[in-house]
A = this chain, B = another copy of it.
Amino acid sequence: MTDASGIAERGPTLFSSVALHSEPMANAELLSIGAELLLGETVDTNAAFLGRELAGLGLPLSGVRMLPDDRVVLRDAFADARRRSEVVIATGGLGPTHDDLSREGLADALGEAMREDPVLITTLEERFRALGPMPEANRRQAMIVPSAEALDNPIGSAPGWWVDRDGAVTALLPGVPSEMRQMWTEQVRPRLAARFALAPVAIRSVKAFGIGESAMAERLGAILTRPPEGVETGIYARDDGVHVRFSTRGELSTLDRCVEETVRALGDNVYGTDDDDLATVAMARLGELGTRELCSWEADTEGALLAILSAAAPANGAVRYVGGVLDVGGGGGPPVGDAVLQVSLLHQDAGGRSRVRVALSGAVSMPPTELRIHGSGPQRLRRAAYAALDAVRRLSSSAR
């Protein structure tokens, strides 16, 4: 038995210091607003999204605060953040109800009075026209301060705010992830890039399966711990393997040598770089081997393999995924077809390792093989599926 993933469940290891070597152009902070975050009713995925986006812009977050729906707390938090940081982004608290207080909090911090904006009222009324009269509560969403510019929300009722005053930028965004992302991408990110003349951060990554983080760090040596001037490095354990990441605010070409060296050192554990994903790579390999259609059969995985295969982006010349079967004791065996990828999740031992049985039947075939994976919960299910995909990716031409 080999260890298929080599991954223990833990966070990433960052090898060079976290902020890029050169100082960021401006300091950025995030305020995540809403009682539901503090009560744990909602996981704050907005923070991770904006953290990645801001790092990519060259404005890595120096801090995030989750705050309650309390006007005085919000006022103080906006005032503190604006004193410390040139860029303050806030999400949430822009709804129509009395506990949506982000507008009031920022207005108080700025020392400005809010007034109802006639253009915003018209936009809101138009939005509600098809649904009947606009509830009185929604008028609050048309309130704005003189120094704020309203940010259009094409998919929700809450407009955002963009305030650029006293050398500090503050943006209010809705808390609903889809609305936040669209407003960020279309309106806030371009404004920030122009306002701070930002040099983008270039990122390249190498993705491997079948090797653990520590073994990887040992094999990579100096490229990880002493990368070229201005390059940051990190290792991230993920369900689909271990990713090595290189970033720089300098020339993209500086990263090419890092990627080349990493690929050479990790050998056949490497399945791709950058946006490559393991399912797409495995499906492309089956296409190369002459398979046209793939179906899947899995036992006791809650459908992890078919979920990954059906969500994967199809590549040119790759096998076409047509569907899958989940068996949870139905007793029916694997279906017969052009190619059937099979994975069964076996028991878990006390150390948190599980055995996985993988096979491929059809014109291209792979005898049943047992692999070992780490992890628990949904992670364990997904790693079983990725172990099967990695085995397919490694198929030699003699499998035909």
A contact set with B: CB distance below 8 Å: 9-14, 17-19, 34-45, 47-53, 55, 60-69, 73, 92, 95, 97, 99, 155-156, 175-178, 234, 236, 293, 295, 302-303, 306-307, 310-311, 320-332, 352, 376-377
Contacts and interface: CB of A to CB of B under 8 A. Distances in A.
B44 A12 contact: no
B321 A328 contact: yes
How often does this chain occur in the complex, in copies? 2
A97 to B, nearest CB: 6
Contacts of A35: 14, 18
A371 to B, nearest CB: 20
Most buried by B among A11, A60, A327: A11
16 contacts: A10-B176, A37-B47, A38-B51, A39-B60, A43-B47, A44-B48, A47-B66, A178-B352, A178-B376, A302-B310, A303-B307, A303-B326, A306-B326, A322-B327, A322-B329, A326-B326
Contacts of A293: 330
Contacts of A38: 18, 51, 55, 60-64
Contacts of A40: 47-53, 55
Given A303-B324, A323-B329, A68 B11 contact: no
Contacts of A19: 68
A267 to B, nearest CB: 23
Contact of A323 (B47, B99, B326, B352): B326
Contacts of A329: 320, 322-323
Given A52-B40, A307-B303, A11 B175 contact: yes
A65 B77 CA distance: 12
Contacts of A18: 35, 38-39, 68-69, 99
Contacts of A41: 12, 48, 51-52, 234, 236
Given A38-B64, A323-B330, 15 more contacts: A9-B176, A10-B176, A12-B42, A38-B51, A38-B55, A39-B60, A39-B61, A41-B234, A43-B45, A44-B48, A47-B66, A303-B303, A306-B306, A310-B328, A322-B331
Contacts of A11: 34, 36, 42, 92, 95, 175-176
Contact of A97 (B13, B61, B295): B13
A66 B63 contact: yes
B295 A302 contact: no
Contacts of A95: 10-11, 13
A52 to B, nearest CB: 3
B311 A322 contact: no
Given A37-B51, A306-B303, A66 B64 contact: yes
Contacts of A66: 47, 61, 63-65
Most buried by B among A178, A234, A323: A323
Contacts of A44: 43-44, 47-48
